[in-house]
Amino acid sequence: MATFFQSVRQGFGRGGNNKNPPKSPAQAPVPQGAMSNSHSMSNSLSIEGLTANDPDSPKYFFQEKYAPLNVRGNFLTLCACPKNVELGEWLAHQIVEQYRLLHGMLQVIQEVNGVTGFPICNESTCPTMSAGRLTYTWLVDGRAAKISAPKFINRVEKWIVSKIHDPVMFPTEKVVGTPETSSIKDAAAAIGAPPATPTDPSNPTGSNGNPDEWIGKSSGFPQTFYKDCQGIMKQMFRCYAHLYHAHWLNPFWHINKHDILNMCFVHFVTVAKYYQLVSDKEMEPMQPLIDLFIKQQRVPPEALNGGHWAQQPTN
């Protein structure tokens, strides 16, 4: 019998060369002050004399009128762990789903222009992995090094896929014994058995300091699983930050897909905050947009300040 995570991961892959970004886009109106006479989608469009990925260029995506979503509804319904699913398996599912959504957005800037032979995000347009004035580095021979955005993103994607397909970190074989799901806990409570203490996210390797308990243990996930999920989500956030700061105008605004980017990002932020997977400090490059989505309750209030952990019973 397959585990929950095994069933949702079936067929998952990076997608190889099967890239299907939005086709035949209608040219959307350019934000006031932007120039619409770009000669190539692989070149940075100009805004008031500045390139679109210039750190000093206007951040239109931080303005409410440029921050629509292409869907309605509460993303909490997609991120809250069902009672009959073990938390480790659910977090693994969330990681896979968030990477699937991010990968779709990254494909848009990785599509090679048939005229120039280069993708929109290339060594020339994005010589560093930047998010405004912030530059992310990659460890090269044990040292932090600035590398181009396409190289950084490529390494992040390969690293995430290797993690997801690692049978130690993301096991798919059924664990001997029955995982203690929330439903089992509820049943135990009904007959008077003491409930298990939920794992504290600030100490994910143990419950109340118990090193023998950790998130996902009952489903066969390793002791480092929660920390590994945090590491993956942090790198995915950095990719989103680059997409907005360097490529919101070109291509997302110009192919009228900025609302889909917003949808993916709101979903990501909801999961990240609900399970405390990305720190507030890490999110600072996108904080104005996150604050806007919080104000609009697109990021639901229940997700803030680690909503999952706040809803757990206490002894």
pLDDT in tens, 208-224: 456 678 999 999 999 99
Question: Tens of pLDDT along 35-54?
Answer: 333 333 333 333 333 344 57
pLDDT at 11: 43
User: Letter for the amino acid at 8?
Assistant: V
Q: Which residues are annotated as a binding site for Zn(2+)?
A: 121, 126, 242, 247
| Sign of the four-CA dihedral 220, 5, 268, 41 | positive
Would you say residue 35 lies in a domain?
A: no
The answer to whether position 246 is within a domain reads yes
Distance CA 13, CA 23 (A): 22
Distance of alpha carbon 124 from the chain centroid? 26
The answer as to whether 26 is a domain residue is no
Task: Say if 128 falls within a structural domain.
Answer: yes
Count of CA atoms in the C-beta half-sphere (13 A) of 195: 15
Cis preceding-peptide flag for 195 (omega within 30 of 0): no
pLDDT of the residue at 280 = 95
What rounded mean pLDDT belongs to the chain?
Answer: 77
Count of beta carbons in the 10 Å neighbourhood of residue 84: 11
Q: Which residues of 121-144 are buried (b: 16+ CB within 10 A; e: fewer)?
A: bbeebbbbbbbbeeebebeeeeee
pLDDT band (50, 70, 90) for residue 206: very low
Whether residue 152 contacts residue 143, with contact meaning beta carbons closer than 8 Å, is answered with no
pLDDT at 209: 52
Domain annotation covers residue 22: no
- Its domain, for residue 160, covers 67-310
Place of tokens 């699913």: 85
pLDDT band per the 50, 70, 90 thresholds, residue 9: very low
For residue 186 the two structure tokens come to 């509820």
Q: What are phi and psi for residue 62, nearest 5 degrees?
A: -85, -5
**CA separation for the pair 303, 309 (Å, rounded):** 10
Q: Which amino acid is at 202?
A: S
DSSP state of 312: S
| 219 touches 88 (CB < 8 A) | yes
Residues 6+ apart with CB under 8 A from 94: 79, 271, 275
User: Could you tell me which residues are annotated as the binding site?
Assistant: 121, 126, 242, 247
Place 124 in a pLDDT band, splitting at 50, 70 and 90: very high
pLDDT (tens digit, 9 = 90+) per residue, 127-175?
999 999 999 999 999 999 999 999 999 999 999 999 999 999 998 775 5
Q: 177-205 burial by CB neighbour count: b if 16+ within 10 A, else e?
A: eebebbebbeeeeeeeeeebebbebeebb
Global confidence as pTM: 0.76
Question: What is the count of structural domains for the chain?
Answer: 1
In a 13 Å sphere around the CA of 142, the CA atoms on its Cβ side amount to 0
pLDDT of residue 34: 42
Interatomic CA distance for residues 46 and 27, integer angstroms = 16
Query: Does position 240 have pLDDT exceeding 90, yes or no?
Result: yes
Within-domain flag for 194: yes
Mean pLDDT of the region 79-92: 92
Report whether 128 contacts 214 (CB < 8 A): no
Reply yes or no on whether the pLDDT at 204 is more than 80.
no
Name the percent of the chain lying above pLDDT 70: 68
CATH number, domain of 73, equals 1.20.140.30
Q: Does residue 19 fall inside a structural domain?
A: no
Asked if residue 217 belongs to a domain, the reply is yes
